[in-house]
Amino acid sequence: MPSKVSCLYLLTVVCWASALWYLSVSRPSTSYVGQLNIPIRKSPKVNKNGTFSNIRARSLNPHDFGYIINEAKKCEAEPPFLVILISTTHKEFDARQAIRETWGDESTFPDVRVVTLFLLGRSTDVVLNQMVEQESQIFHDIVVEDFIDSYHNLTLKTLMGMRWVATFCSKAQYVLKTDSDIFVNMENLIYNLLKPTTKPRRRYFTGYVINGGPIRDMRSKWYMPRDLYPESKYPPFCSGTGYVFSADVAELIYKTSLHTRLLHLEDVYVGVCLRKLGIHPFQNSGFNHWKMAYSLCRYRRVVTVHQISPEEMHRIWNDMTSKKHLKC
Ligand SMILES: *[C@@H]1O[C@H](CO)[C@@H](O)[C@H](O)[C@H]1NC(C)=O
Ligand SMILES: *[C@@H]1O[C@H](CO)[C@@H](O)[C@H](O)[C@H]1NC(C)=O
Give the integer Cα–Cα distance in Å for 298 and 188.
Answer: 12
Nearest CA to ligand 1 atom 4: 50
CB half-sphere exposure, 316, CA atoms < 13 A: 29
Q: Which atom of ligand 2 is nearest to the CA of 150?
A: 14
What confidence score (pLDDT) does residue 290 get? Answer: 87
Report the run of H or E that residue 143 belongs to, with start and end.
Answer: strand 142-148
Nearest CA to ligand 2 atom 14: 150
Q: Which atom of ligand 2 is nearest to the CA of 153?
A: 1
Query: What is the distance in A from the centroid of ligand 2 to the CA of 207?
Result: 28
pTM, 2 dp: 0.82
Q: Which residues line ligand 2 (CB under 6 A)?
A: 147-148, 150, 152-153
Query: What is the distance in A from the centroid of ligand 2 to the CA of 123?
Result: 11
CATH code of 67-212+239-322, in short, is 3.90.550.50
pLDDT tens, position by position, for the chain (328 residues)? 445 555 555 555 554 555 445 444 344 444 444 444 444 444 555 555 444 444 455 688 999 999 999 999 999 989 999 999 999 999 999 999 999 999 999 999 999 999 999 999 999 999 999 999 999 999 999 999 999 999 999 999 999 999 999 999 999 999 999 999 999 999 999 999 999 999 999 999 999 999 999 999 999 999 999 999 999 999 999 999 999 999 999 999 999 999 999 999 999 999 999 999 999 999 999 999 889 999 999 999 999 999 999 999 999 999 999 999 999 9
What confidence score (pLDDT) does residue 37 get? Answer: 45
Spatial contact of 243 and 206, defined as CB atoms under 8 Å apart: yes
Spatial contact of 227 and 257, defined as CB atoms under 8 Å apart: no
Cα angle at 103 between 101 and 151, to 5 degrees? 90
What confidence score (pLDDT) does residue 289 get? Answer: 86
**Proximal ligand: closest to the CA of 52:** 1
Q: Which whole-number Å values give the CA distances from 266 to 19, 63, 272, in the listed order?
A: 27, 15, 10
What confidence score (pLDDT) does residue 256 get? Answer: 98
Nearest CA to ligand 1 atom 12: 49
The β-bridge partners of 177 are: 85, 243
Nearest CA to ligand 1 atom 9: 49
Residue to mutate, 119, 146, 147, ligand 2, most ligand atoms under 8 Å from C-beta: 147
Spatial contact of 110 and 83, defined as CB atoms under 8 Å apart: no
What confidence score (pLDDT) does residue 28 get? Answer: 44
Q: Return the axis-axis angle of helices 93-101 and 310-322, rounded to nearest 10°.
A: 10
